[in-house]
Amino acid sequence: MVFVTKSASEHFSYPRTSTKVSKLFSGIPLVDLTKPDSKQLIVNACEEYGFFKIINHGVPMDFITRLESEAIKFFSLPLSEKEKSGPPNPLGYGNKHIGKNGDVGWVEYLLLTTNTESISQRFLSVFGNNAEEFCSALNDYVSAVKKMTCEILELMSEGLKIQPRNVFSKLLMDEQSDSCFRLNHYPPCPELQGLSSAGARNVIGFGEHTDPQIISVLRSNNTSGLQISLRDGSWISVPPDQNSFFINVGDSLQVLTNGRFESVRHRVLANGLKSRLSMIYFGGPPLSEKIAPLQSVMNGEEESMYKEFTWFEYKKSAYSSRLADNRLGHFERI
Residues taking part in catalysis: 276
In whole angstroms, the minimum distance from the beta carbon of 284 to ligand GA4 comes to: 8
CA-to-CA distance for 125 and 190, rounded, in angstroms?
Answer: 31
Q: Does 3 bind ligand GA4 (CB under 6 A)?
A: no
Neighbour-count burial for 150-185, b at 16+ CB within 10 Å, e otherwise: bbbbbbbbbbbebeeeebbbebbeeeebbbbbbbbb
Q: Considering the rule CB under 6 A, would residue 99 count as an interface residue with ligand GA4?
A: yes
Cα separation, 103 vs 100, in Å, equals 7
* Nearer Cβ to ligand GA4 (297/328): 328
β-bridge pairing 92-98 and 226-229: unpaired
Instruction: Decide: is 251 part of the binding site for ligand GA4 (CB under 6 A).
Output: no
Nearest residue to ligand GA4, scored by beta-carbon proximity: 99
Q: What residues from 170 to 209 belong to the interface with ligand GA4 (CB under 6 A)?
A: 180, 182, 209
Q: Is residue 44 part of the contact set for ligand GA4 (CB under 6 A)?
A: no
- Start-end of H helices in 128-233: 131-159, 169-173
Give 259-297 as a 3 state SS string: CCCCCCCEEEECCCCCCEEEEEEEECCECCCEECCCHHH
Name the residue nearer to ligand GA4 (CB basis): 110 or 156. Answer: 110
Q: Could you tell me if residue 71 is left (phi over 0), alpha (psi between -120 and 50 degrees) or otherwise beta?
A: alpha
Peptide bond into 87 cis (omega under 30): yes
Check if the beta carbon of residue 234 is closer than 8 Å to that of residue 187. no
Count, in order, helices (H) and strands (E) of the chain.
Answer: 8, 15
Amino acid at 48: E
Q: Which is nearer to ligand GA4, 43 or 269 (CB)?
A: 269
Q: Is 50 in the site for ligand GA4 (CB under 6 A)?
A: no
Q: How far is the CB of 170 from ligand GA4 (least distance, A)?
A: 20
Q: Binders of ligand GA4 among 292-321, rule CB under 6 A?
A: 318-319, 321
**Nearer residue to ligand GA4 within complex by CB, 94 or 293:** 94
Interface with ligand GA4, residue 291, by CB under 6 A? no
Count the site residues for ligand GA4 by CB under 6 A. 17
Nearer to ligand GA4, 168 or 282 (CB): 282
User: Residue 257 in contact with residue 331, Cβ under 8 Å?
Assistant: no
x/- map, 206-245, ligand GA4, by CB under 6 A: ---x-xx---------------------------------
DSSP one-letter code for 24: B
Stretch that binds ligand GA4, among 36-44, 99-107, 127-135, 156-164 (CB under 6 A): 99-107
Q: How far is the CB of 211 from ligand GA4 (least distance, A)?
A: 4
Q: Which of residues 265-284 bind ligand GA4 (CB under 6 A)?
A: 282
* Per CB under 6 A, 90 contacts ligand GA4: yes
- Name, in order, each residue with C-beta under 8 angstroms of 316's C-beta and a sequence gap of 6 or more: none
Residues that bind ligand GA4 (CB under 6 A): 90, 98-99, 101, 103, 111, 180, 182, 209, 211-212, 282, 318-319, 321-323
